[in-house]
Amino acid sequence: MKVAVVGTGYVGLVTGTCFAETGNTVTCIDIDEKKVESLNNGKITIYEPGLEALFERNIKQNRLHFTTDLKEGIEGAKVIFLALPTPPGEDGSADLKYILKVADDLGPLLKDYAVIVDKSTVPVGTAEKVTAKIKQNAKVDFDVVSNPEFLREGVAVEDFMKPDRVVVGTRSEKAKKIMDMLYAPLVRQGNPVIYMDEKSAELTKYAANSFLATKITFMNEIANMCELLGADVDAVRKGVGTDTRIGKRFLFAGIGYGGSCFPKDVQALAKSAQEVNYDFDILNAVMNVNDKQKTKLIPQIKNYFAGDLKGKTIALWGLSFKPYTDDIREAPALYNIDELVKAGAKVQAYDPEAMENVKGQIGDKIVYCDDQYSALENADALLIATEWPVFRTPDFDRVHSALKNKVIFDGRNLYNPDDMGELGFAYYSIGRTTING
Ligand SMILES: NC(=O)c1ccc[n+]([C@@H]2O[C@H](COP(=O)([O-])OP(=O)(O)OC[C@H]3O[C@@H](n4cnc5c(N)ncnc54)[C@H](O)[C@@H]3O)[C@@H](O)[C@H]2O)c1
Ligand SMILES: O=c1ccn([C@@H]2O[C@H](COP(=O)(O)OP(=O)(O)O[C@H]3O[C@H](CO)[C@@H](O)[C@H](O)[C@H]3O)[C@@H](O)[C@H]2O)c(=O)[nH]1
C-alpha cells in the first residue's frame, strides 16, 4: 500500500520506517529542509536503537522516501499519517496549529479517497476539527481516523512492531478496511487492533500516559514516605508489584518523570478537564509532586556542603530524560543543572548520547566530558540523573579516588546502599537508607 507520513520527527520516522518494513511504499514529508536532506543522504536524524538498520534496508529497497513537498509526498497515498508536534500552548492545552495547518493544506491536494490518520497525541474532538478543515477545500471523499501512538523512545521499534495493542478510532467501515490491511502484518503476529470511536481513541492516549505518570508519581510519594519512616522503596515496590492487579512495571522511584510526552500530556488532559468544568484533582497533584521530585536531591546536596555550593564542582552522570535516547525534553537533569548553577556550583557532565543536544540548548553553562570518569576529575560530589547501563557497574575504585568528597547522590537508585557504605561512600538515593559515610 502507498503510505504518506507528514512530520518526520521521532514518531514520523519510526512510523514511516516500520510501515516500509512491513511491505508498504512510504513517503515521509517534513518542512525541515535540513532533516529531509540528511534523510535523503541516508543519514538518520534520531538516535533510536534498531531503527538505523531498518531505515537503511528500506531505502535500499526503494520503499522509503523523503520530501519537503506535501503534494508530491501524498501522491497516490491511501493512508496519510499526521505525525506532527502538539506542544503545550501558553495555557497548557495541546497546540493544534501544526495539525490544522497541514489539514488546511491537504484539502485541495487530495485527488482520491484517502484515510487521514491523527498519529499525534491530540485532545478529544481533534478528528472532528481536522475533518472540518479538510472539508473546506476537498473535492473528494475522505475519512479522518484517530490512531494514537504508544511507542516509548529507546525501544520504539519493538513497541511499534510488537505493540500490546493498536488503538484505532473510526466509525467508517471503508476506513476500517484500509487500517485492517495496513496493520494485518502486526495482527498476524498476535498484536491486537482495538477499534472504537474517534473521541474514545483520542482520550485513550491521554488516559494511558496520565495513568502511567500517576503510577510513577505514586511510587515517588511512597519513596518519600519510606525516607521518613525508615522503610525501603525497593522492597515495597517488589511487595506491591507482584500483585498482578498492580503489575511490576513503571513502579521505579526516582527524580521524577520527564520526556516529550508525560509532562505535556498530563498537563493537556488537566486543561481539557478544565475546559469542561471538571476538576481533575489527581492530575494537578501528579504535576505538583513531579515538579518537586525532579530537584529533590538538591537540598540534600546543599545540606551535605553546609548550605554552600559556591565554588563546588558537581559531576553529573546522565542528561537524557531516560536511557537509550538522546532526547533531553523535560529531562530532570536540566532542572538539576539550573539549581546547581544558580547555587554557584560548576557542573561537569557526561552522557553517552545526549551531550550534543544539551550543548545546543544550554551551551557552556556546564562542562562536557569525554567519559564518565573525566566528569569526576576534581569533583566534590557525583549526582546521577539517568540510569544508562554504563553507570550501573562503574569502577568504584576509580570513582572513589577521583571524588574529593566520597559522596554520591543517586536519583535513579542504581546501587545497593549497604554496598556503597562498605565501599566507603556516603550515599543518598530515593526512598532508601541514607549512608552517611
Ligand atoms: N516522541 C514520542 O516518543 C512520542 C510517542 C507517542 C506519541 N507522540 C506524539 O507524536 C507527535 C509527534 O511527536 P514527535 O516526538 O515525533 O515530534 P517531533 O517534534 O520529533 O517531530 C515533528 C516533526 O514535524 C515536522 N513538521 C512541523 N510542521 C510540519 C508541516 N507543516 N509539514 C511537515 N512537517 C512538519 C517538524 O519539522 C518535525 O520534524 C506529538 O503529538 C507527540 O505527543 C510522541
Ligand atoms: O518506573 C518508572 C518508569 C519511567 N520513569 C520515568 O518516566 C519517564 C517516561 O518514561 P517512558 O514512558 O519509558 O518514556 P517515553 O518514551 O516518554 O514514553 C511514554 O510516552 C510516550 C509518548 O506519548 C508513549 O507513547 C509511551 O507509551 C509512554 O511510555 C522517564 O523520565 C522515566 O525516567 C520512572 O521514573 N519510573
Whole-number Å distance between alpha carbons of 407 and 397: 13
CA of 151 to the centre of ligand 2 (A): 9
Distance in Å from the first CA to the final CA of the chain: 63
Question: Ligand 2, residues 122, 152, 251: which to mutate, most atoms within 8 A of Cβ?
Answer: 152
Supply the mean pLDDT for the chain: 97
Kindly give the distance from the C-alpha atom of residue 86 to the centroid of ligand 1, in angstroms, as a whole number: 7
- Residues assigned a catalytic role: 261
Q: CB 319: neighbour CB atoms within 10 A?
A: 30
Write the DSSP string, 308-335: --TT-EEEEE--SSSTT----TT-HHHH
CB atoms under 10 Å from CB of 145, counted, come to 25
Q: Please, which pLDDT band fits residue 437 given cuts at 50, 70 and 90? A: confident
Q: Whose CA is nearest to atom 14 of ligand 1?
A: 10
What pLDDT, in 10s, does the model give residues 298-316?
999 999 999 999 999 999 9
pLDDT tens digits, 188-216: 999 999 999 999 999 999 999 999 999 99
- Cβ–ligand 2 distance for 353 under 6 Å, the answer no
Cell of 118: 491523527
- Atom of ligand 2 minimally distant from the CA of 149: 25
Instruction: Give the residue from 356, 374, 273 showing the smallest Cα distance to 320.
Output: 356
Angle at CA of residue 302, ends 396 and 383, nearest 5°: 30
The pLDDT score that the predictor gives to residue 351 is 98
Residue 22 makes CB contacts below 8 A (sequence gap 6+) with 185, 186
The C-alpha torsion from 27 through 32 and 38 to 44, rounded to 10°, is: -70
The pLDDT of residue 13: 98
Question: Is the pLDDT confidence value at 86 over 80?
Answer: yes
C-beta separation of 339 from 354 below 8 A:
no
Whole-number Å distance between alpha carbons of 90 and 166: 31
pLDDT at 391: 98
Interface pTM (ipTM) of the complex?
0.98
Cell numbers for 390, please give them: 554504563
* pLDDT given at position 178: 98
User: How far, in Å, CA of 145 to CA of 116, rounded?
Assistant: 6
Q: So what's the pLDDT on residue 253?
A: 98
Q: Are 396 and 419 in contact (CB under 8 A)?
A: no
In this prediction, residue 322 carries a pLDDT of 96
Stated as kind and residue range, the H or E segment containing 181 is helix 173-188
Residue 258 labelled as part of a binding site: yes
Q: Which tens digits make up the pLDDT trace of 322-380? A: 999 999 999 999 999 999 999 999 999 999 999 999 999 999 999 999 999 999 999 99
Indicate if ligand 2 lies below 6 Å from the C-beta of 251.
Answer: yes
- The arithmetic mean of pLDDT across residues 146-165, rounded, is 96
Q: 330 C-alpha to center of ligand 2: Å?
A: 12
**Can you give the pLDDT at residue 413?**
98
pLDDT band at 163 (very low <50, low <70, confident <90, very high): very high
Instruction: Give the whole-angstrom CA distance, residue 192 versus residue 158.
Output: 15
Find the 394 Cα to ligand 1 centroid distance in Å.
Answer: 36
Would you put residue 324 in left (φ > 0), alpha (ψ -120 to 50) or beta?
left
Distance 13 CA to ligand 1 centre (A): 9
Residue to mutate, 257, 264, 429, ligand 2, most ligand atoms under 8 Å from C-beta: 257
Confidence of residue 277 (pLDDT cuts 50, 70, 90): very high
pLDDT of residue 73: 98
Give tens-digit pLDDT for 376-399: 999 999 999 999 999 999 999 999
- Which residue has the least CA distance to atom 20 on ligand 1? 9
Pocket flag, ligand 1, residue 98 (CB < 6 Å): yes
Flag whether 204 is marked binding: no
In the predicted model, is pLDDT for residue 317 greater than 90? yes
**Pocket lining: 99 vs ligand 1, CB cutoff 6 Å:** no
- With a 6 Å cutoff on the Cβ, whether 155 touches ligand 1 is no
Buried b (16+ CB within 10 A) or exposed e, 378-399: ebbbbbbbbbbeebeebeeeeb
To which residue does cell 493537556 refer?
268
**Nearest-angstrom CA–CA distance, 289 and 90:** 21
pLDDT of residue 135: 97
